[in-house]
A and B are shown apart, each in its own frame.
Chain A
Amino acid sequence: MSGPPTRSTERLRLEAISKRFGATIALAEAGFEVRAGEIHALLGENGAGKTTLMNVLSGLYHADAGRIWLDGRPAEIAEPRDAIRHRIGMVHQHFELIPPLTALENVIIGQEGSTLLLRRERQARGVAALAARFGFEVDLRAPVAALGLADQQKVEILKAIFRGVDILILDEPTTVLTPQEADALLRTLRTMASEGLSVVFISHKIHEVLGHCDRATVMRAGRSVGTVDASATTEQALVEMMIGERVARTAAPAEREVDDTVLLRVDDVTVAGRGGLPAVSHARFSIGRGEVVGLAGVDGNGQRELVEAIVGLRRVTGGRVELGGRNVTTTAVGDRLAQGLAYIPEDRLGDGALPSMSVAENLFLGVHRLARGGGLTYRPAAIRAGAAAPVRDYAIRGTATTPLGMLSGGNIQKVLIARALAVAGHGDTPLVVAHNPTRGLDVRTTEFVRRCLVDVSRRRGGVFLVSSDLDELMQLAHRILVLFRGAIVADLPSTAFDAYEIGRLMTGAAARA
């Protein structure tokens, strides 16, 4: 971190940056300015262009027009190499790490220090010293794949500061962190900023912006709407800048009527994981009619395995799963769906979407095994007609015949939700299992999805909501289970909801106590 830092000197200015991808205009003359030593937040809905703008700055994308100024001089950044030379570092929204390589190798790659031989020991000492100085200690010898997301993030940050940075860009860094970890990161960033580093901090969480950043620039539809001082604005004002209108907050779920009908019973379920260790061990809970049960946990503590065991995609090594009183432990996925179990997978594109098939065909998938009539035959016209209603009701931007892969992430999610709810509607035990259903969605779509889930419980279906967003869980769920290393360590009624307490449980406080 070079130069005499004074808080008001301009370090970086992006001026009228434009960028289009085919027909989409991602950036339309966007720009803002960052001072030395400040933490500058970048806010905006999904697709507003935040990541694109930062990718332009880090040389990954080539802007169609616009200029970049560094310390008052025009800078030419055409390649990632140029950005590194200008001491700009970026921690990407989806980490750019190489999983089988060690943390050390990930940090030094590209700057190995010698052209031929890797001198790991010598490099390790330098990197470890750097890590100690800023509090980013990680096991440098471990393969990145074996590290938790918080540690992976440290590796990413180390990678940037190892190359030397005056400007550090962090794209949604707190999405993968517990509240405690997020606080720690923000405090470290503050220390670094006080030494002169400029930080660009992208986040959807407005309280972080208000609490920890100096200024905030809001983007909407590829343009910069404005820059405000964090101390002189409010949450409501920022949201309005982001979406240009007011949004109603999701109504809380209906008060649960006392009803003992159990839709799902998970009884002592154990699922094998990698290397012999159980991914889920002795999980036990049930979900009743009209109930929304949340599952909190740091990513990678067995959520995926538990959910897949319930849906039938993964074999359980012990225990039982019951749907509406019937034992379905070894029942095929299709037969569980036929009972009304609906699944909204976390990995939308990987587990949900048929990218080159049409919206109508995607809506028909899964439902095709349940719909009565038609039997063997497949009638394209009828299927297209059947898609009209969901396309309208869910405000899917596209037509029945648009290939799904052409839609944006939020619209793909709407299709998957429409499909899941249709499946739930066909069976006698309507239960929706939703895994991170709003991750990466913007405020408006998030609200929509949440309302859909609440409606399911209002119609006396059950919802199993697995989410890494604590606010979401606390807003929607009647009960929250906490998962830590494959075990359910707490079952909290809504009266006991407290973000910090749940955060502690998620990181193993109950196990230690």
Chain B
Amino acid sequence: MRNALAEIAKYAFAFAVAALAGAVLVAVMRGDVLGAYRTFVWSSLGTAGGFAQTLNKMCPLLLGGLAVGLALRGGYFNIGVDGQIYAGAIAATGVALALETVANPALAPFAVVVGVLGGAAFAAIPAVLRAWWSVNEIFVTVMLNFVAVFLTEYLTTGPWNDVMAGEAITRLIPDAAKLPMLSVRAGSHVGIFLALASAVLVWLVLERTRWGFEVRALGDNERAARVAGIRTAWVTAAVLVASGALAGLAGAIEVTALHHRLILGLTPGYGIMAILIAVLGKARPLGILAASFAMAILLVGSDSLQRSVGLPASAALVFQALIVLSVLFVDAKRSVRA
């Protein structure tokens, strides 16, 4: 009980720090601080449309957080969620455009599955390098982010470009490849259900299967896992590929449910936010769920402040980092006293 209260106090403190930083920023920009808070909360939670937006944002954040969290449980840092989101999006867009003429309703789920595979395949590169060549996955995933962005730039401006748009975006995918909306009026899509289902699945796999046990053992002490007969290379590869698959799902959903095409800038840094979310959620699905919801509110709220007081979008990153640093601060202070 005491502990739960202390935990709540910790997060309250962290969000207060971010809120304070926000107030300072708004004040610097000569905005109305209280008004900004009101806009922030109202825009993300106060209206059906705002809440729908929050859920839509939460979808890639939750999946990305799960991707980072799953890898983290196995002891690895997947910094390449952005790249894998692009890979998933590219794969999903690719099949959707290739099968443009097939008006079969199965196209949408098929595109999503292909997107998942795209993310997984892209993550297979760091996975194999890590598992059998002991190449640090952090560097490989970071470098592949750049590769994925340039690939997206090429596709959106080159072969798949929508010539009418004059932007780095592709043609629209066919209607059959679009995932249904949850509420057309509010503008929320079904992606959030897929994300929630993934969270449950990740939890089940980690806590209720022997493979999940092996992943956790690996994350706790790789040598000990190996000494105990676990084929650590295979588990490593599998956990990183699975991580990429989750990110690929996020990318596929962004294409099939939200933008209905591939765009450059599809992920405004969901991957790096996902790292913070996984850290905040202690790599546990439930924690990641809560953290991604909070971060989604923060994104949507900051976004509205961009419109009302001109707060730059990048402020959201600063707030998120401040939140995590505050949590680390409280954790450290507490463990020093204990």
Chain A residues with a Cβ under 8 A of chain B: 22, 311, 313, 332-338, 343, 345, 350-357, 361, 364-366, 368-369, 374-380, 419
Stretch at the interface among B54-62, B115-123, B203-211, B305-313: B203-211
- Contact A354:B220 (CB < 8 A) given known A368-B210, A376-B211: yes
Asked, given contacts A22-B338, A354-B221, whether A313 binds B227 with beta carbons under 8 Å apart, the answer is yes
- If A376-B209, A378-B207 touch, does A351 touch B227 (CB 8 Å cutoff)? yes
Chain B residue numbers with a CB within 8 Å of A378 are 207-210, 212-213
Task: Enumerate chain B residues within 8 angstroms of A355, measured Cβ to Cβ.
Answer: 220-221
> Could you list 15 A-B pairs, sorted by A, with CB under 8 Å?
A311-B227, A335-B229, A350-B223, A350-B224, A353-B221, A357-B217, A361-B213, A364-B213, A365-B228, A368-B213, A376-B209, A376-B210, A377-B210, A378-B210, A419-B228
Q: Is the CB of A345 within 8 A of B208?
A: no
Q: How far is the CA of A92 from the CA of B224 in the complex (A)?
A: 27
Q: Is the interface of B mostly helix, strand, loop or mixed?
A: helix
Q: Which B187-240 residues sit within 8 Å CB-CB of chain A?
A: 207-214, 216-217, 220-221, 223-231
Give the chain A neighbours of B211 by CB distance below 8 A. Answer: 376
9 closest pairs, A vs B, by CB?
A: A334-B229, A366-B228, A354-B220, A337-B229, A333-B229, A365-B228, A351-B227, A378-B213, A351-B223
Q: Which residue of A lies closest to B228 (CB)?
A: A366
A500 CA to B169 CA, complexed, in Å: 82
Question: Of B207, B217, B226, which is within 8 A of A354 by CB?
Answer: B217
**B231 CB contacts on chain A under 8 angstroms:** 332, 334
Q: Shortest Cβ distance from B33 into chain A, in angstroms?
A: 43
Further contacts, 6 of them, CB under 8 A, given A369-B230, A376-B209:
A335-B229, A350-B224, A353-B224, A357-B220, A361-B216, A380-B207
Return chain A residues, CB-CB under 8 Å to B217.
354, 357, 361, 365
| C-alpha gap A350/B226 in the complex (Å) | 11
CB distance from B291 to the nearest CB of A (A): 20
- Bound-complex Cα distance A490 to B224 (A): 32
Q: Which residues of A contact B207 (CB under 8 A)?
A: 378, 380
* Nearest CB in chain A to that of B230: its residue: A334
| Closest A residue by C-beta to B227 | A351
Residues of A within 8 A of B221 (CB): 350, 353-355
Cβ A377 vs Cβ B209 within 8 A:
yes
- Residues B338 and A343 in contact, CB atoms below 8 Å apart: no
- Rounded to whole angstroms, the CA-CA distance of A377 and B207 in the bound complex is 9
CB distance from B223 to the nearest CB of A (A): 5
User: Would you call B213 and A352 a contact (CB within 8 A)?
Assistant: no
> In the complex the two chains form, is A366's CB within 8 Å of B229's CB?
yes
Interface centre among A338, A365, A375 (most CB of B within 10 A): A365
The answer to whether B227 and A345 touch across the interface, beta carbons within 8 angstroms, is yes
Residue from A311, A361, A368, A379 with most neighbouring chain B CB atoms (10 Å): A368
Residues of A within 8 A of B230 (CB): 334, 369
- Give the CA-CA distance A371 to B62 in the complex, in Å: 36
Residues of A close to B226: CB separation below 8 A: 313, 333
Q: What distance in Å separates the Cβ of B75 from its nearest Cβ neighbour in chain A?
A: 11
Q: How far is the CB of B162 from chain A (nearest CB, A)?
A: 46
